[in-house]
Structure 1
Amino acid sequence: MDLKTTYLGLELPHPFVVGASPIAARLDRVRLAEDAGAAAIVMNSLFEEQIIHHEEGLQKHVLSHEDSFAEATSYFPSADEFDLGPDEYLERIREIKQAVDIPVIASLNGTNLGTWTEYAKYMEEAGADALELNLYYQPRSAEESSEQVEGNFVEIVEKVRQSVKLPLAVKLSPFFSSLPNFIKRIEDKGANAAVIFNRFYQPDIDIENLEAVPSLKLSDSSELLLRLRWLAILSGRTQLDLAVTGGVHTAEDAIKAVMAGADCIQLVSTLLRHGLPQLTKLRNEMAQWMEEKEYDSLEQMKGSMSYQHAPNPEAIERANYLRILQSWDVEA
């Protein structure tokens, strides 16, 4: 079965990629990922807070529950391993490039424009095959308009594009007033791919101790639905490659994502739950299903259920909303 796909100009043997996660923090895990058949690996993001050594509580906020899931314990490195400084991060790119043959996609999350462009260059020089811009920012001031936020994002893409020749993926949240318009704007500024969607770690509230506490939960298949809708809408309407992240746990999930238009499938939570051999399992199960359904290639299946090709495109749009609500009734 021909599962080949192209993502960020990289010819991949299949769409399954290790998404940004602690897996990249250990070379032995990276090697195991390659042995399991990963088509590429995305490194965990380098945050500007790490670069400027600001707020040591960052690693506690993100990683304090790193061993909460027994099945994931062996895959989460310690905080010291994951919280790489900027020099260590760049060295890790070099080490991974020497250790494996699969493409390495670096990831960057900044706050100042200079940081984005400076470290994008450093990552290119370190040997990264591509760069994922992790646009993780949550405005909290009423004085900051949506136009300003999105304008800043577009400028980041533009300036990084001017700074490096690396293929650029932009990792997005679903919180845009007009996602298709924003996709067009970053495409015009030189982005090569969009990653649909980032998952935000939301704090919980401890009502006994009256404090906010970090809450780290792995995704499940229900989170794929939002991503399927937007993949289906965007597929065929943009020249950007489309990657899905969040909610792919089974071969059926992966097949749905490709049918909606995904060129690349980034796996994290399912690998943390089941281990890196899950990569092999999902790839084999997808190939078997496609053979049974008489598909010749992934390309033949890709986008077949997008808005442009779906036999019932109104199900993707608002027209289906009322119908779904009316289909439920309250038991007496």
Structure 2
Amino acid sequence: MTNQSEARRLEARYLGLALKSPLAPSASPLTATFNGARELEDAGAAAIVMHSLFEEECQKDHAMLHQFLYEQELGHSESDGYLPVPDTFRTAEERYLDNLERMKASLEIPVIASLNGVTRKGWAEHARQLAAAGADGLELNVYYIAADAEESSMDVERRYLDIVHSVRASVPDLPLAVKISSQFTSPVHFISQLKQIGVNAVVMFNRFLQPELTLETRKLHPMLELSHADELRERLRWIAIVRAQVAIDIAVTGGVHSASDVIKAQMCGADITQMASVLMQQGPGVIRQMETEILEWMDLNEYDSLLQLKGSVSYRNAADPSGFERANYLETLDSWRP
């Protein structure tokens, strides 16, 4: 366990929250339960992002409840309006809010809720519920594939901006982060727009799940694959470019698997590193291991704190900024040998 002096060297800030380190488990099955969250806190997590509350799941539960009450009414007309609901029945949002409240009552680290909505009303209403339950911040997990030939890139951006407008009006004081895709036409411009309408942080980037096509059945099947370390390179490039131009908090997610990955993300300008796959593969204990290895690297390279190196190789500070844009395209091609 790091001592108080060492902990100060790892300090980070995100969504206005003072964190003991940039190591924050992202939304995953590990953050879906109180026991999982407590285990992550004990292992050194600086904050957690809860698993997402899905509006579709809430809609399904409400439809089920409506059907149950309807059937009760048909069968108990003599009960003069008394329609008993099973004590054990809890809707998705009730279970989520109970879990959030329990975490906030017992954990010392910040708890950031995650919301995956469908409708503007749903985004706004669920955000209000999460704020009332005590969330320290809210991550908007906008999981949307632009697959309509009639929908332009401006339409796609407008969808995100409309969601943020709706949520921000609903929770004017709650710190907001938006989890975005890497597939925007102009990510820096879009992130600048998000900041202008009240977003406090962006999470880079959402990992869209890719289905598998089975030749025998000629059907698509969902595939859940954990991230790989090489996914980090795309994120580092855009973090470095964004950090130099937009004053907004940045979380990196996807491809963070080692202490070296955390240090690289800090150098490019990330405020925190969100992790899930490495924790699911190696267990929560990897957080302490990363802390130790980061401190050892800082000692070897004479850094007093992570804040000292944050953004040191961003687009503004890089010795060769064009490397982030073209990745030394010609030199890279010429370097290949059979």
1:317 counterpart SS class: helix
2:325 counterpart SS class: coil
Letter in 2 for 1:275: G
Distance (whole Å) between structure 2 residues aligned to residue 152 and residue 132 of structure 1 = 16
1:217 to 202, 205, 225: 225
Deviation at 1:219, TM superposition (A): 0.8
1:44 to 34, 39, 51: 51
1:240 to 240, 248, 254: 248
Matched ranges for 1:236-315 at <5 A: 236-315=244-323
Deviation at 1:323, TM superposition (A): 2.2
Cα deviation, 1:245-291, whole Å, max 9, x if unaligned, reads 01110111111110010100101000000000011111111111111
Contact 1:244 1:265 in 2 (8 A): yes
Q: Which runs of 4+ in 1 moved over 2 A?
A: none
1:93 aligns with 100
1:171 to 179, 192, 197: 179
Deviation at 1:239, TM superposition (A): 1.4
2:26 counterpart SS class: strand
Contact 2:58 2:91 in 1 (8 A): no
1:151 aligns with 158
1:219 counterpart SS class: coil
Contact 1:168 1:191 in 2 (8 A): yes
Letter in 2 for 1:45: S
2:10 to 3, 25, 28: 3
* Root mean square deviation of aligned Cα: 1.6
Distance (whole Å) between structure 2 residues aligned to residue 326 and residue 84 of structure 1 = 59
Cα deviation, 1:185-218, whole Å, max 9, x if unaligned, reads 0000000001010111110011112211111111
- Pick closer, same or farther for the CA change 1:307–1:53 going to 2, 3 Å: same
Contact 2:38 2:107 in 1 (8 A): yes
1:296 counterpart SS class: coil
Cα deviation, 1:112-169, whole Å, max 9, x if unaligned, reads 1111111100000011000001111112221122211111111211221121111000
- Gap runs ≥5 in structure 2: 1-5, 64-89
Cα deviation, 1:69-127, whole Å, max 9, x if unaligned, reads xxxxxxxxxxxxxx971211111111111231110000111121111111100000011
- Gap runs ≥5 in structure 1: 57-82
Distance (whole Å) between structure 2 residues aligned to residue 209 and residue 84 of structure 1 = 36
Distance (whole Å) between structure 2 residues aligned to residue 102 and residue 319 of structure 1 = 38
1:43 counterpart SS class: strand
Corresponding pairs, count: 303
Letter in 2 for 1:182: F
Comparing 176-185 with 160-169, greater Cα deviation is found at: 160-169
- Pick closer, same or farther for the CA change 1:210–1:199 going to 2, 3 Å: same
What's the % identity of the aligned pairs?
A: 48
TM-score by length of 1: 0.88
- Pick closer, same or farther for the CA change 1:144–1:185 going to 2, 3 Å: same
1:195 aligns with 203
Contact 2:139 2:178 in 1 (8 A): yes
- Pick closer, same or farther for the CA change 1:274–1:154 going to 2, 3 Å: same
Distance (whole Å) between structure 1 residues aligned to residue 327 and residue 113 of structure 2 = 40
Distance (whole Å) between structure 1 residues aligned to residue 153 and residue 325 of structure 2 = 24
Contact 1:121 1:163 in 2 (8 A): yes
Distance (whole Å) between structure 1 residues aligned to residue 12 and residue 217 of structure 2 = 51
1:132 aligns with 139
Distance (whole Å) between structure 1 residues aligned to residue 196 and residue 103 of structure 2 = 32
Deviation at 1:13, TM superposition (A): 0.7
Deviation at 1:319, TM superposition (A): 6.3
Deviation at 1:326, TM superposition (A): 2.3
2:71 aligns with none
Distance (whole Å) between structure 2 residues aligned to residue 160 and residue 210 of structure 1 = 41
Contact 1:169 1:195 in 2 (8 A): yes
2:3 aligns with none
Deviation at 1:322, TM superposition (A): 2.4
Deviation at 1:236, TM superposition (A): 2.8
2:334 aligns with 326
2:126 aligns with 119
Deviation at 1:46, TM superposition (A): 1.1
Contact 1:27 1:99 in 2 (8 A): no
Distance (whole Å) between structure 2 residues aligned to residue 149 and residue 290 of structure 1 = 42
